[in-house]
Structure 1
Amino acid sequence: MTKQEILDAIHGKMIISCQAIPGEPLYLEDDSVMYLMARAAKRAGTPAIRTSSIRDVAAIKKETGLPVIGLVKINYPGYDSYITPTMKEVDDLVAVGSDVVALDCTLRKRGDGTTINEFIAQIRQKYPDIILMADISNYEEGINAWKCGVDIVGTTMSGYTDYTSKKDEPDYELMTRLAADIDIPVIGEGKIHYPDQAVKALQTGIWSIVVGGAITRPLEIAQRFMKAIDEGVK
């Protein structure tokens, strides 16, 4: 699919994130079950999947045939960012056929001494036609990523940096401001737990949304029920 075909397919829709990382119940060291989550997501009608790890990108593309937003979560010494932080992860995602490559575009410390602006420029020089999704945490970072030439800005990191508000709900204000002020698609992501929140997020004017934990992380879903029950019976 071309860039425009992918963007048209996701417009006004919900992308489902199917991810499992070490320590989570659905993570297996020697295999992956995320393609089964992606199978269910496709049957539900999602136009695209967001996933982490090279093996899951490959398995989900094979299973669903849907466009995949790929990323790699990895912690390197000296890096505050952990979503596709270096060129190695970009290379691997391109090689496996990620339709979109997502990366942390916050303004936090990078262990190699480069700025995120320099890193984006390096990616563009090496892969001029790649579709890049910038995961940001605040308005300044969204504007910066847009000016650096990314194709999509996502509110993924709002509430997950030490300088953004820790609220257990989507950052509607950030979605609204970015949708109004930049001329590329804005994807609302992060803490969309319920259908009414998904609808409200799309009503801010953003291009589409990503929902993950509320659908594809059974431990998180179960804990939300348990917490509500515990609080309700006290």
Structure 2
Amino acid sequence: MNLTDLMATIRGGLIVSCQAGPEHPLRDTSTMRRLAEAAVLGGATAVRCGGVGGIADVRAVAAAVAVPVIGLTKSGTDGVFITPTVADALRVLAAGAAVVATDATTRPRPDGAELRETIEAVHDAGGIVMADVSTVAEGVAAASAGADLVATTLSGYTPYSPRTAEPDLALVRDLVAELPAVPIIAEGRYHRIEQVREALEAGAGAVVVGTAITDPVWITRRFADATHRPAPVTAEHR
């Protein structure tokens, strides 16, 4: 798949992120696959997956759905941990992802490679790169390095970007203005339908929603909070 075909598939649409942390009750590759299948039945134009489930999740989802898969790995929780190395990126691509998502912040990469090296390796292997950034400057630098897509995924997750409860729509607008030739993907804290609409109106090529669709713990907690009753305390969470 090339970038033109990808954008013809996802432009103006919803990308669903199917990931679960290591302690989450849904942390299981077969569960992630079923979540992805359900998301596609619901209208997702692409699926973002991998994370701590890594290559196994990417491979399972890519084999199960007909929409493009945006794959990634996660290693740790500090610094560059989203598809942090060239080797990780190539493994994600080999597992069946059409797009490799990778941290494109200014922080040093653990293998010592430059972002451009990761991008070139993925391109040489026939893949597409989504650069996860936290600021406009990082988005511009990623595009200059050859990234095919720039996503706002990491806004609020670096010490120098604003962390808010709401999605960073300002970053979407600024990236669209600065990079008119590069598709901008809105991602990060999109919890309501109107926020998705706002991102598309701001010029985003597509919007990624994860937690608000695929995390029943988070969804249930929002409803439970409305009842003003405390959640039950289990031995696991004491």
Q: Same fold (TM over 0.5)?
A: yes
- In structure 1, C-alpha distance between the alignment counterparts of 2:168 and 2:193, rounded to whole Å: 15
Shift of 1:228: 4.4
What code does the residue aligned with 2:34 have? L
Structure 1 vs Structure 2 CA RMSD: 1.9
The equivalent residue for 1:197 is 195
Judge which range, 6-15 or 107-116, deviates more. Answer: 107-116
What code does the residue aligned with 2:119 have? I
Can you give the 5+ residue segments of structure 2 that lack an aligned partner in the other structure?
230-238
The equivalent residue for 2:106 is 107
The alignment of Structure 1 onto Structure 2 pairs a total of residues equal to 225
Judge which range, 172-181 or 221-230, deviates more. Answer: 221-230
The equivalent residue for 1:186 is 184
The equivalent residue for 1:2 is 2
- In structure 1, C-alpha distance between the alignment counterparts of 2:64 and 2:125, rounded to whole Å: 28
CA contact (8 A) 2:104 2:142 kept: yes
CA contact (8 A) 1:146 1:153 kept: yes
The equivalent residue for 2:165 is 168
Shift of 1:60: 1.4
- In structure 2, C-alpha distance between the alignment counterparts of 1:139 and 1:148, rounded to whole Å: 14
- In structure 1, C-alpha distance between the alignment counterparts of 2:103 and 2:8, rounded to whole Å: 24
CA contact (8 A) 2:89 2:118 kept: no
- In structure 2, C-alpha distance between the alignment counterparts of 1:4 and 1:117, rounded to whole Å: 21
What secondary structure does 1:209 align onto?
Answer: strand
**For 1:26-37, what aligned pairs fall within 5 Å after superposition?**
26-28=26-28, 31-37=29-35
Q: TM-score, normalised by structure 2?
A: 0.88
The equivalent residue for 2:67 is 66
Could you report, residue by residue, the CA deviation over 1:140-185 in whole angstroms, capped at 9, with x for unpaired residues?
1001001111100000000111111110111010000111221110
Can you give the 5+ residue segments of structure 1 that lack an aligned partner in the other structure?
none
The equivalent residue for 1:54 is 55
Q: TM-score, normalised by structure 1?
A: 0.89
CA contact (8 A) 1:179 1:205 kept: yes
The runs of at least 4 consecutive aligned structure 1 residues that moved more than 4 Å come to 121-124
- In structure 1, C-alpha distance between the alignment counterparts of 2:89 and 2:167, rounded to whole Å: 28
- In structure 2, C-alpha distance between the alignment counterparts of 1:178 and 1:74, rounded to whole Å: 27
**For 1:1-234, what aligned pairs fall within 5 Å after superposition?**
1-28=1-28, 31-52=29-50, 53-75=54-76, 80-121=79-120, 123-124=122-123, 127=124, 129-182=126-179, 183-230=181-228
